[in-house]
């Protein structure tokens, strides 16, 4: 005779916090993975449309953490950390190529130090999908993969776990189900309980992708609700490329879309270098240099005016010519001419008209 299903509900024990001395003793400072940007022991993710550079961005973060090296001023590792990298889609040789491209501009001595840190701190599991959850009676249940990963974490004791991408750890769960996404985040938070910070990558949904929004990631919104930190990557638009006078395909915008414990970082741009390596881009300097070159070009073609005439009828032909060539506003021209006069790029003739130095 089959045993009857048990209706017994397991009693949950709630722990009450001890708040004694809270207002008398200063609490210890928060610990960070990246100083002032990413707090330790939380779960977060990076989202972008396909082909935007999520994996390379994630590789850059983990390379920075393993070696204790800051690749971009916005992400300064608090120290070198032990990192476990679970990448289901990229093979070992692809990871090696990316790491080489990220390090090749450093000196030989620096690369030697980085190599030693990499061997000590990186636990790489490449090209091996590992579903952490499985559907059992239509309910998300911890899979064998979770047990395997938990054993690896217990053995190697990483500070940070990177999973790339989410879909390869999500198993057979429904991506659009909020309850399934909640279960996935809860699964990852079990690693937080061991002192491990968890970051994963995820695709963005159709229609909202590339707009740098908190809920632009694909699937149920409970995913974004459950994590504590998000970064969005987006491609450069045609209008932005025209503003800066660059090739849109070479640039990626980084925006923070959620941060529960830190200030939001100011959006910044990365440029794809050799082999896809992402380097910090100073687009304002690129824009200013382009405007300066265009102003020189217009001056050499015979157009000129007095700087004080910018925006007035007398200077309209000059500023319009500059705008037509590079999209610069009158204020852009004023600023660049002022800087150019200060640094000897431009000068004034005996009538006070602008000319190239």
Task: Identify the band that residue 92 occupies on the pLDDT scale cut at 50, 70 and 90.
Answer: very high
Examine the domain organization and report whether 213 and 347 are in the same domain: no
Examine the domain organization and report whether 201 and 299 are in the same domain: no
Read off the tokens for 291.
């405007």
Average pLDDT over residues 78-96: 96
d(CA 298, CA 281): 27
Out of 281, 305, 332, a domain closes at 281
d(CA 18, CA 5): 39
Read off the tokens for 271.
């440029």
Is the pLDDT at 1 greater than 80? The verdict is no
Domain of residue 172 covers 32-281
Examine the domain organization and report whether 269 and 299 are in the same domain: no
pTM assigned to the model: 0.86
Examine the domain organization and report whether 184 and 246 are in the same domain: yes
d(CA 26, CA 204): 41
Is the pLDDT at 199 greater than 70? The verdict is yes
Assess whether the previous peptide bond of 36 is cis (omega < 30° from 0).
Answer: no
Task: Identify the band that residue 13 occupies on the pLDDT scale cut at 50, 70 and 90.
Answer: confident
Taking only the tens place, the pLDDT of each residue in 294-329 is 999 999 988 888 888 887 887 888 899 998 888 889
Q: Residue 303's pLDDT is what? A: 85
Helix (H) or strand (E) holding 48: strand 43-48
Mean pLDDT across the chain:
91
271 - beta bridge partners?
Answer: 251, 279
Examine the domain organization and report whether 54 and 119 are in the same domain: yes
Q: HSE of 35 in the Cβ direction (CA atoms, 13 Å)?
A: 12
Q: Residue 164's pLDDT is what? A: 96
Sign of the dihedral through C-alpha 22, 25, 26, 32? negative
> Which CATH number goes with the domain that contains 318?
1.10.10
Examine the domain organization and report whether 140 and 236 are in the same domain: yes
252 - beta bridge partners?
Answer: 235, 270
d(CA 350, CA 353): 7
Sign of the dihedral through C-alpha 94, 96, 98, 100? negative
User: Could you tell me the CA-to-CA distances from 20 to 3, 27, 34, 208, 293 in Å, in that order?
Assistant: 49, 12, 31, 47, 66
Average pLDDT over residues 72-85: 98
User: Could you tell me the CA-to-CA distances from 337 to 282, 307, 353 in Å, in that order?
Assistant: 20, 8, 12
Examine the domain organization and report whether 266 and 322 are in the same domain: no
Taking only the tens place, the pLDDT of each residue in 223-281 is 999 999 999 999 999 989 988 889 999 999 999 999 999 999 999 999 998 888 999 99
Examine the domain organization and report whether 177 and 251 are in the same domain: yes
Query: Reduced to 3 states, what is the DSSP secondary structure of residue 244?
Result: helix
């Amino acid at each position: 005779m089959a045993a009857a299903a048990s209706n017994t509900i397991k009693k949950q024990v709630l722990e009450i916090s001890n708040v004694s001395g809270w207002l008398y003793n200063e609490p210890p400072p928060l610990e960070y993975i990246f100083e002032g940007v990413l707090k330790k022991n939380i779960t977060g993710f990076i989202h972008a449309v396909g082909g935007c550079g999520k994996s390379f961005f994630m590789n850059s973060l983990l390379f920075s953490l393993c070696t204790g090296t800051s690749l971009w001023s916005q992400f300064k590792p608090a120290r070198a950390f032990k990192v476990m990298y679970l990448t289901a889609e990229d093979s070992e040789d692809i990871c090696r190529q990316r790491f080489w491209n990220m390090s090749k501009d450093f000196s030989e001595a620096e690369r030697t130090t980085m190599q030693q840190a990499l061997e000590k701190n990186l636990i790489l599991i490449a090209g091996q999908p590992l579903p952490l959850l499985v559907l059992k009676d239509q309910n998300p249940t911890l899979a064998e993969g979770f047990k395997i990963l938990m054993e690896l974490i217990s053995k190697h004791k990483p500070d940070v776990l990177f999973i790339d991408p989410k879909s390869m750890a999500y198993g057979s769960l429904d991506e659009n189900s909020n309850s399934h996404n909640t279960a996935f985040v809860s699964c990852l938070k079990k690693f937080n309980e061991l002192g491990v910070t968890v970051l994963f990558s995820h695709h963005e949904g159709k229609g909202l992708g590339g707009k740098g929004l908190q809920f632009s990631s694909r699937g149920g919104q409970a995913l974004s609700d459950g994590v504590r930190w998000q970064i969005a990557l987006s491609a450069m638009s045609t209008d932005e490329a025209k503003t800066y006078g660059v090739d849109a395909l070479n640039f990626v915008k980084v925006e923070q879309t959620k941060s529960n414990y830190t200030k939001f970082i100011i959006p910044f741009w990365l440029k794809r270098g050799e082999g896809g390596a992402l380097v910090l881009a100073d687009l304002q300097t690129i824009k200013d240099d382009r405007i300066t070159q265009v102003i020189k070009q217009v001056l050499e073609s015979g157009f000129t005016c007095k700087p004080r005439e910018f925006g007035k009828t007398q200077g309209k032909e000059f500023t319009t010519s500059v705008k037509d060539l590079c999209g610069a506003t009158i204020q852009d021209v004023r600023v660049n001419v002022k800087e150019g006069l200060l640094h000897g790029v431009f000068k004034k003739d005996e009538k006070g008209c602008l000319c190239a130095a």
